[in-house]
């Protein structure tokens, strides 16, 4: 499975229009953050997008995306949905299924009503098939599970995508891998924690989790809150996303390093037993991960 971070920024993107802060005027390419989105390629060629924000066209060109087999929506806020019209080139050959919770699908159909009604020829519009995701989805060899989480008072979805391959050994051992995407999250309900904990402990799991800034926020995890939540779920690597312009990429790397050093001195049961072996970093636009 290959994962590409298309965007790692918060709702206004970085640089912020009209802002002259050190991060928005930074020459470090890692500080340029489009709206949050990820793209996944399975081992058999499956191609899945999570969220389509306002820069999706530019993100797709940069990542070389040429086909989509499914779209997963976390929620209906503009920074996660308002690139939907740019899906037109990907749906010419056949419609693309779109998955989200009931509220997100309803909002999508209302906000983009022209997509879902009969109109005159010409002008073009994406061909999408809306689906309410309340159970596991299969796209090729990818198993996709919706994970209910909270974004303030709003019920949204995280997504876990898992894949099993056969390891070329004498025993032909099956190897499972999992990618968990939890953006814009402020709380993981107990039922979802239980859901995410019921898995093979040997499964490799990459987690990309939303974390706005160092200071607390009403509807988003802070860096420390996001790292603590992610590490409790048994990851092999954790990356922070949906980041605002309060912190440069370099500063967040230092925050992650300090978090690791602090928790290495705590009792093992306080967080992940093997925290020293877990990759912990801020995500960046264009980051490619192989799982």
pLDDT at site 267: 59
44 half-sphere exposure, CB direction, 13 A CA radius: 11
Backbone angles phi, psi at 168, to 5 degrees: -75, 80
Q: Using an 8 Å Cβ cutoff, are 136 and 145 in contact?
A: yes
pLDDT at site 290: 95
Q: Tell me the pLDDT tens digit for each residue of 161-219.
A: 999 876 655 555 666 889 999 999 999 999 999 999 876 666 789 999 999 999 999 99
Rounded (10°) angle between helices 249-264 and 223-231 = 50
Q: Tell me the pLDDT tens digit for each residue of 87-115.
A: 999 999 899 999 999 999 999 999 999 99
What are the sequence ranges of the domains in the chain?
2-290
Range in 264-268, 269-273, 286-290 with the lowest mean pLDDT: 269-273
pLDDT at site 118: 81
Strand 279-282 relative to strand 174-182: parallel, antiparallel, unpaired? unpaired
51 vs 176, which has greater pLDDT?
51
pLDDT above 70 coverage of the chain, percent: 91
Q: Which homologous superfamily is 2-290 in?
A: Ribonuclease Z/Hydroxyacylglutathione hydrolase-like (3.60.15.10)
pLDDT at site 214: 96
β-strand partners of 191 = none
Question: Token pair of 255, please?
Answer: 């925050």
pLDDT at site 9: 98
């Amino acid at each position: 499975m290959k994962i590409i971070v298309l965007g790692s920024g918060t709702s206004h993107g970085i640089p912020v229009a009209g802002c002259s802060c050190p991060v928005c005027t930074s020459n470090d390419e890692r500080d340029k953050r489009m709206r949050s989105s990820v793209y996944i390629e399975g081992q058999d060629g499956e191609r899945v997008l999570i969220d389509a924000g306002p820069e999706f066209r530019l993100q797709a060109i940069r990542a070389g995306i040429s086909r989509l087999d499914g779209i997963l929506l976390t929620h209906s806020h503009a920074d996660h949905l308002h690139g939907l019209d740019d899906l037109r080139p990907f749906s010419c050959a056949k419609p693309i299924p779109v998955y989200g919770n009931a509220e997100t699908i309803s909002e999508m159909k209302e906000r983009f009503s022209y997509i879902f009604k009969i109109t005159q020829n010409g002008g073009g519009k994406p061909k999408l098939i809306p689906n309410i995701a309340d159970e596991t989805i299969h796209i090729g060899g990818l198993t996709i599970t919706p994970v209910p989480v909270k974004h303030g008072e709003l019920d949204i979805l995280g997504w876990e995508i898992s894949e099993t391959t056969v390891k070329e050994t004498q025993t032909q051992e099956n190897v499972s891998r999992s990618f968990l995407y939890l953006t814009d999250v402020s709380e993981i309900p107990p039922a979802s924690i239980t859901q995410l904990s019921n898995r093979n402990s040997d499964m490799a799991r990459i987690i990309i989790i939303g974390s706005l800034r160092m200071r607390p926020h009403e509807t988003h995890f802070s860096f420390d809150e996001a790292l603590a939540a992610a590490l409790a779920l048994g990851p092999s690597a954790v990356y922070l996303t949906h980041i605002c312009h309060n912190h440069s990429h370099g500063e967040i790397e230092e925050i992650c390093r300090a978090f690791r050093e602090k928790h290495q001195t705590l009792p093992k049961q306080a967080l992940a037993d093997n925290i020293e072996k877990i990759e912990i970093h801020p995500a960046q636009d264009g980051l490619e991960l192989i799982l």
